[in-house]
A and B are shown apart, each in its own frame.
Chain A
């Protein structure tokens, strides 16, 4: 059993003493002189389930790269598990699922070899133990990909590939899962099941940060919503987000709450 589940199960409401998972204060960032993200401050505590929403080009993915320390803020401070985000290197605490464009597309590699990578931060320069392989196989079973374990990733459909990447994040047994539009290309039924899976992982005490364009799914599953369009337009409980006008302000148009933005 993972150690964090016992400590953190009840912590989703208590924001007092424990270290923050993610803390941004006054963060500005731009690839050019135009800022993509301006003056963003937010704190995510252990056990939270936070969705980050916003229109295309609103800086959601950039905010994620700032949180993960892949880029450094121009102004302000980004902290991950209490350390400056760019210095944080304990990959075993982090699980990451990208929009499905990120990985190599032609490489001969099996689903199981991809999921295996989730264990790399735990084994370092060593070999995977049989316990590690058990975790890999469990993760494959969790996403329903056991039958595809020895298939080449290149032969999979988009949704199947995405499941493999989710399994890789699960195999990492991380404290924090960061997902950037993880369900793009996944069939509708699996999307439902996938959100249920995230719910149950969050129930185990894992902190979930989800970047999503499907507003319907977000308001249904996440506890807290951060609405972003360069600046933070809304940060609060998902239920209040539905009633606020921040959505219209951030998107600038009327957006469909029922997932019609697909």
Chain B
């Protein structure tokens, strides 16, 4: 299996950066091959499944993490809009490769185009003082229209490849695109880890966050650009059309049962991973499209979470604690 991990690369300048990522992919592949030998599971025997599973697991962490910050700001649909501009980016990449033989992965052009679109959506919303579903719908359809137009201009031979981007495909996750995803994963987790306090404050209470000296517009820009990265990264196995589900569905499920914010982050990741693992397994053995199955599993988990949440409120009713009085001798008690 290991020879699959050492295919020639076409990333060019980024090679030194990607070298360790290919090493990670190779090691991961070895681990899964060993696991396949131990368990006899057919699904773990193929190199493409190794990469697909790794990509799926990464999506299961980063999509709900950034999704949590989107859902609680009523921005659930921005993922969908960015995925469609990502599709335009893919088309741009394919187009450039065909016309001037640029030789870059369409996923890289997709990341670039989606991030520019994200920044544009954010700047428009800053200028007009509101995110609105109309501008989101315009961005979404512009992206998709641009994508389909570029592809139709360039039709010979490309049409075959488009399905893979629209619906995602486990078996076409190349070494290169898996490496790109690992790089995106590293950036996304790093940035969220660093700015988690600020993102939480801005998400929960934008005005108070602004008063406390945070640049709300900068954190909004960071959020949408991270979303663009997540969406494009997840596109390879989820497909353009379904990728937004991973940002939203596990988060919605988690908010049904979680009490605290940290708990909701953790639960949403667990639910997403569950959906990814069960979905990839079911789609492999059922010979169905992974993206669709993963989303169906995620929705089923969401329904279970809703029921659990209702039961929690119905039966888990705690005693309402006695509210203490406001301590007016505050200054004295703190003066020690």
Contact = CB atoms under 8 A, between A and B. Distances in A.
Interface of A: 1-2, 5, 68, 70, 88-92, 94, 96, 98, 102-104, 106-110, 112-114, 117, 120-121, 123-125, 138, 141-148, 150-152, 160, 163, 165, 168, 170, 172, 178, 190, 193-194, 196-197, 199-201, 203-204
Contacts of A125: 194-195, 197-198
Given A107-B72, A108-B259, A102 B326 contact: no
B321 A113 contact: no
Interface in B57-86: 72-73
Given A104-B73, A108-B261, A94 B323 contact: no
Contacts of B263: 108
Contacts of A124: 197
Contacts of B260: 108-110, 112-113, 150, 152
Contacts of A89: 213, 215
A96 B204 CA distance: 14
A2 B335 CA distance: 8
Contact of A96 (B203, B208, B328, B335): B208
B123 to A, nearest CB: 19
A235 to B, nearest CB: 24
Nearest to B324: A144
Interface in B213-246: 213-215
B73 A194 contact: no
Nearest to A174: B212
Nearest to B268: A108
A170 B327 CA distance: 12
Contacts of A160: 323
B258 A108 contact: yes
Contacts of A197: 326-328, 330
Interface centre among B195, B212, B321, B333 (most CB of A within 10 A): B212
Interface in B169-222: 194-195, 197-198, 200-201, 203-208, 210-215
B74 to A, nearest CB: 9
Interface centre among B200, B264, B333 (most CB of A within 10 A): B200
B38 interface: no
A98 B326 contact: no
Contacts of B33: none
B211 A68 contact: yes
Contacts, number: 144
Interface of B: 72-73, 194-195, 197-198, 200-201, 203-208, 210-215, 254-255, 258-264, 321-331, 333-336
B328 to A, nearest CB: 4
B255 A117 contact: no
Given A144-B323, A144-B325, A197-B326, A113 B261 contact: yes
B200 A117 contact: yes
A145 B324 CA distance: 6
Given A113-B261, A150-B260, A103 B198 contact: no
A148 B321 contact: yes
A91 B260 CA distance: 25
A120 B201 contact: yes
A96 B212 contact: yes
Contacts of A114: 204
Contacts of B255: 106-108
A152 B259 contact: yes
Nearest to B212: A91
Nearest to B319: A147
A91 B204 contact: no
Contacts of A102: 205-208
B324 A146 contact: yes
A193 B204 contact: no
Contacts of B201: 117, 120
A104 B334 CA distance: 31
16 contacts: A70-B211, A91-B213, A107-B203, A108-B254, A109-B260, A117-B204, A120-B197, A142-B330, A143-B326, A147-B321, A150-B259, A152-B260, A170-B330, A196-B326, A200-B329, A201-B331
A89 B211 CA distance: 8
Contacts of B328: 193, 196-197, 199-200
Given A68-B211, A96-B211, A114-B204, 9 more contacts: A1-B336, A70-B211, A98-B205, A102-B207, A110-B260, A117-B208, A125-B195, A143-B324, A148-B323
